[in-house]
Structure 1
């Protein structure tokens, strides 16, 4: 329900974003990634370690991440090194890699979790036949970042999606590669998503000597 600014009912109402940080969420640094991994390992949270690792590596939106099924990630008894999903938002396929450490944490979780190829990798706590909700995933991200002393207002599920993409861009300056990895239809979206600005462009230019 929306109100006009001239309606009496609007007087004294607090805006939905009052006191909140809105806009693009920050990506994690390498140090912060290892701090969260240390925390999850110390607490023996196998599911959360696998979810965190997969979120960073896959660069998927939360809705696509929580809906992953075991068969997408597993071939026979092995975790795939690459996988592909159809994005809910765009209806387009996107591929992602699964590096060694991530395959290890996934293998540990799936060994404990059990299930078949048609089961969700991260089931709901209430109904195991359904996936974890995006809201639950968002709450977990809040837990992870606050556990290592970060402000939850500055980070969110999109921080997980942006982290590796931002690292790849900083290392290579290759926007087209990042666009493909994120599954964006337009490179302009990738530019906005990464927050690329003139300073970034100048730094990349300064690295190139002719």
Structure 2
């Protein structure tokens, strides 16, 4: 950050602290914000020929923004990553403008590059069921097979992220009717635990050779340490190849499938948003896949003018 003026560096740190305190942003998110804004401020310093203090930042122009975007794209940054960088810079300038009392229009009016958003690809109900059945067949040890099935059942049955499932500790045992999950950005949510998930975890615990301590992970590797997510990914890779499923049939696809199948069955989008732990409803809308017939059916049965 040597190219950045002390005042700009202090402002960036204050903004990051506000993001952590007010929005509960995760450390990974904060690190990404820092990189994006540092890249921008470093460019502006070189572009203008001198470190840019807060007053100089107030004078950033549309032309400056275009020059930054052109150079960044010229460095091989994809449109999706460029859009994320621009979003970080806009957020920082919006915060800075409120405190310094200047008009940030030149920055905020900069248009994000267009890109095709990749939609998640959930499994259909039959494929999800077969995945659960096949995952259990991959291990030679009964307790390992039960472990793998329990993890994947939590992903599909409760909509957990793999990090959330593997982060469960012995104090949650035996599973009850619900789980308190601490998700991304420290956001807490309550998720119902279906009978199949409870039974799968109970069976695994009864077979596991390792002691279940309150402060130790529920899911263990063969040697007793915390289970590595890669092991579940590999188990699902083997299962999907046996079933002839596409490469998109990953652990995260089970979470996609949880949301999509709930919505297709008539679940409320906002309720599903809470179950997934999404801060934004638009994230859930992108996350779930609903076919046109389902949308038309909802429209015809619920729209007051239909």
Using structure 2 for the length normalisation, give the TM-score: 0.54
Report the counterpart of residue 29 of structure 1 in structure 2: 124
Report the counterpart of residue 280 of structure 2 in structure 1: 186
More moved, 23-32 vs 97-106: 23-32
Report the counterpart of residue 156 of structure 1 in structure 2: 250
| CA deviation after TM superposition for structure 1 residue 206, in Å | 2.6
Higher helix share: 2
SS of the aligned residue for 2:179 comes to: strand
2:186 aligned to 91, 110, 113, which one?
91
RMSD: 2.7
Q: Gaps (5+ residues) in structure 2?
A: 1-71, 77-116
Asked if structure 2 preserves the Cα contact closer than 8 Å seen for 1:40 and 1:46, the reply is no
Report the counterpart of residue 70 of structure 1 in structure 2: 170
1:59 matches 2:149: no
Q: Gaps (5+ residues) in structure 1?
A: 6-21
> What CA deviation, in whole Å up to 9, does each residue of 1:41-100 have, x standing for no partner?
55551111111111112212222221111222x1xxx4311111111x221102212211
CA–CA distance in structure 1, aligned partners of residues 164 and 232 of structure 2 = 12
CA–CA distance in structure 1, aligned partners of residues 232 and 133 of structure 2 = 19
Report the counterpart of residue 17 of structure 1 in structure 2: none
CA–CA distance in structure 2, aligned partners of residues 192 and 41 of structure 1 = 30
Query: Which segments of structure 1 move beyond 6 Å, counting only runs of 4 or more?
Result: none
CA–CA distance in structure 2, aligned partners of residues 135 and 165 of structure 1 = 23
Using structure 1 for the length normalisation, give the TM-score: 0.75
Task: Tell me: higher relative CO, structure 1 or 2? Use CA pairs within 8 A at least 6 residues apart.
Answer: 1
Compared CA separation, residues 207 and 147, structure 1 to 2 (3 A): farther
1:171 matches 2:265: yes
Q: Which has the larger radius of gyration?
A: 2
Compared CA separation, residues 132 and 42, structure 1 to 2 (3 A): closer
| CA deviation after TM superposition for structure 1 residue 198, in Å | 6.9
